[in-house]
Structure 1
Amino acid sequence: MGARETIRIAVRNVVPPAGLTRALAVQAMVYAVGSGLFHAGSAVFFTRALGLSAAQVGLGLSIAAGVSLLGTVPLGGLTDRYGPQRVWIVGLVLDAALFATYPFVGGFAGFLAVVVALAAVESASGVAVQVYSINALAPEERVTAMAYQRSSLNVGFGLGAVISGLVLAVDTIEAYRGMVWFISMVFLVTAIFVRRLPRLPQVARPTEPMSRLAVLRDRPFMVVSLLSGLLTAHQTLYLTVMPLWILTHTDAPKTIIAGLVLLNTVLIVLLQVRASRGADTASGAARASRRGALLIALFCLVLPISGLTRGALTVVVLVAAATVLILAELIESAGAWGLTATLPPADQRGAYVGAFRLGSQVQYLIAPVGLTALGVTTGGWGWLPAAAIFVLVGLAIVPVVGWAGRTPRLGAAAPERTMTPVP
């Protein structure tokens, strides 16, 4: 293969094809500029601009996480009732309004009100974004389009982080206020992008719609949600547990942590689309999830080696472990998209996608504490049971997805029709 062909393939895996797939990727990148900017600068903003203590910030964000957990299913059901595009646009406008109020927050109570409201909005709009992509695209295009969106999100996150660096360098109250007002404007621009996306016909509602919480009774689907959600622990491992391990159990320089975050961003941008191939069916998505689980288990075996090495060899081991975990993230993410695109019924997709997100919410509650305790505080031997957990999840997810595929979904109507955008 020549250099020109290699470049052409690389570009094709990064730049989405013209049409709806590209439009969705562009809005994802625009949105991520604001989101990435805030994630990178939020801790300093909360403490410097709002005058909150670290304990107050942690408590407020924990309460918001609880609201997100409780609201994911009922608020996700709004998508089925009002349509994903409408819920998505309203969510972006509310995000913009809430961010615009941040500079006027006085004390912990005001901060708590804003972060809880933002968590509730995200519970609804996060489902709407995914449901719109599923409804608007043909089944064979959905996973690839979501992969392009994730690649674009990482480009936007990177740009946001660069802008955040400039704000942190200025380090004035006015700069921090300008930062959140700029983020507010980014979300309004994103809302305009979404408003211009093709309108979709409303999916026919069942004659007797089920309760918004009834999906929780769909046992095989909820088991799939739990297993897939546990695999999103790769995020906790990469951003929390691995840095703690590096700082406490290796002789690697602290700066390598930033280098590994950059490596994650670059590989996701370059490889996410390629890694998503074959995950556009339920069986293919299940196999991708299994591969992702086994790669996470392999990471749990490779990383502790860095505690036994010295110098340059430690850096080599850390880069190898990080690369394995990034591959796990790429493949597992594609598997999760495939499962949400194929298992939920078309007329209850919002409720089911919301329920699917519960699995990752559970992971966020237990993985930071559990994996830190196993991997870091044990001195290293805890990585063995951690690896065993992911092997078991990987072995279980394929038969469980098969069980869910054989079980009719609650409230399901007729088989899904291919959705055609309204001109």
Structure 2
Amino acid sequence: MGARENIRTAVRHVVPPAGLTRALAVQAMVFAVGHGLFQAGSAVFFTRALGLSPAQVGLGLSLAAGALLLGTVPLGGLTDRHGPQRVWIACLLLDAALFATYPLVTGFAGFLAVVLALAVTGAATGVARQVYSINVLRPEERVTAMAYQRSSLNVGFGLGALISGLVLAVDTIWAYRGMVFFIAAVYLVTAGFVRRLPRLPQVTRPTEPMSRLAVLRDRPFMAVSLLSGLLSAHQTLYLTVMPLWILTHTDAPKTIIAALVLLNTVLIVLLQVRASRGADTAPGAARASRRGALLISLFCVVLPISGQTRGLLTVGALVVAATLLILAELIESAGTWGLTATLPPAAQRGAYVGAFGLGSQLQFLIAPAGLTALGVSTGGWGWYPAAGIFVLVGLAIVPAVARAERTPRLGEAPEATRTVTPVP
């Protein structure tokens, strides 16, 4: 009986409850199949099917990242003006059309045009999806629902990666073209899911709307954005810096990198909902972010041990370090959701959610080179100052959130009453 109850509890933390939370999780999983498929197969598609050089691919993706950084806040403003659901659907339809045009690309200029457009629609989609989830759910449900979505996203990413393996095994031009047409179809299906979600009530707009970049003047909020963005470095550490450390400073087999990625996926699916408890208020989210920061610092202390060990001890040290970083990711992600759900004002939520993402985007520009130089290139001693940096960020984020809570937001207006139609 005890084992049966444990199984039921585990299922409840993986399978979302019926209703709106499940509907949001299902669309997330469908979307992630297409997104995961392209993430896993895009590099080969660009070089084999489009005939681009690695340098051209790298330049195009870097320019797309720059466009994403510059466009997030204005695109968030679009969500405020036109409604998150409408923007979300429009961007998914544009994504489908853009992926369908990929086989027509014949050179770098065409590739750049498509990849820049996809960066813009991707940024708008991310903001609109998050704003919709916040607006349509009751405050106590928001973080848990986002946790279920993230768990479902990882299931979808895994399925997409599996499909990409089949495409790479076939390795023909038509297989790669079929891949992008399939992704376009996935986005069309996702748009259909989103269209069937409940309609949102109209949010009261301020009589004098903010300018598109006015949110950047909200210094307490932007300080929280920067600190939280620095903590999102757990992604860079797990997917970029730790593999480089394993390859250059340990005797572990290369296959352990893939095993640790699988471990990450499995634990996120199983534990994300549990790890999100208590992060549905601003103080709770701040404390979750602090715990995540301290776990990242512990990772930075444990990982260098693997450079001094041999054989199974090395594998054990890497598994312990990876587990610490996964726990940090689970808890810090919940903190991020709690902060974006509680700090922005309802009438300007799109602009504020977009501005909050600037911190993590800056991290993606700085952390890969910075943490690699500090942790890997130093031979190992640089991990200790890196741990100190994350401790300082963790200590700073709780008072920063408290200050942001005390400071009125720009364009703040009372939240509209959340009356939504049932899920069809």
For residue 54 of structure 2, what is the aligned residue in structure 1?
54
Does the CA-based 8 Å contact 1:138-1:418 persist in structure 2? no
Structure 1: any 5+ residue segments left out of the alignment? none
Cα pair 2:26 2:152 within 8 Å, conserved: yes
Pairing 1:2-401 to 2, within 5 Å after superposition: 2-401=2-401
- Residues 201 and 422 of structure 1 are in contact (CA less than 8 Å); yes or no, is this contact kept in structure 2? no
Structure 1: how far apart are the matches of 2:401 and 2:259?
A: 37
**Contact persistence 2:204–2:416 (CA under 8 A):** no
Distance 1:296 1:156 in 2: 26
Contact 2:131 2:349 in 1 (8 A): yes
Q: Distance in 1 between matches of 2:102 and 2:371?
A: 34
> How many Å apart are 1:418 and its aligned residue?
4.3
2:420 maps to 1:421: yes
Deviation at 1:411, TM superposition (A): 0.7
Distance 1:151 1:119 in 2: 24
**One-letter amino acid of the counterpart of residue 108, structure 2:** F
Partner secondary structure for residue 15 of structure 2: coil
Q: Is the 8 A contact 2:203 2:416 kept in 1?
A: no
How far did residue 264 of structure 1 move? 0.2
Q: Normalised by the size of structure 1, how large is the TM-score?
A: 0.99
What is the alpha-carbon distance in structure 2 between the residues aligned to residue 148 and residue 420 of structure 1? Answer: 22
- For residue 40 of structure 1, give the secondary structure of its aligned residue in structure 2: helix
1:232-278, Cα deviation, whole Å (9 max, x unpaired): 00000000000000000000000000000000000000000000000
Separation (CA, whole Å) in 1 of partners of 2:225 and 2:420:
29
Instruction: State whether residues 198 and 420 of structure 2, in contact with CA within 8 Å, keep that contact through their aligned partners in structure 1.
Output: yes
CA–CA distance in structure 1, aligned partners of residues 256 and 16 of structure 2: 31
SS at match of 1:52: coil
1:368-403 CA-to-partner distances (Å, cap 9, x unmatched) read: 000000010000000011101100000000000000
C-alpha deviation, 1:75, in angstroms = 0.8
Using the alignment, how far apart are the partners of 2:171 and 2:354 within structure 1? 39
Question: Normalising to structure 2: TM-score of the pair?
Answer: 0.99
Which stretches in structure 2 are left out of the alignment for 5+ residues?
Answer: none
Report the residue type matching 2:306 in the other structure: S
Deviation (angstroms), 1:417: 4.0
Deviation of residue 12 (structure 1)?
0.3
SS in 2 for 1:77: helix
> Which residue type is aligned with residue 218 of structure 2?
D
Paired amino acid for 2:55: A
Q: Over residues 295-322 of structure 1, what are the superposed CA-to-partner deviations in whole Å (9 max), with x where a residue is unaligned?
A: 0000000001000000011000000000
In structure 2, the residue corresponding to 1:200 is in which secondary structure? coil
SS at match of 1:393: helix
Per-residue deviation, 1:123: 1.6
1:404 aligns with 2:404: yes
Aligned equivalents of 2:76, 2:205: Cα separation in 1: 15
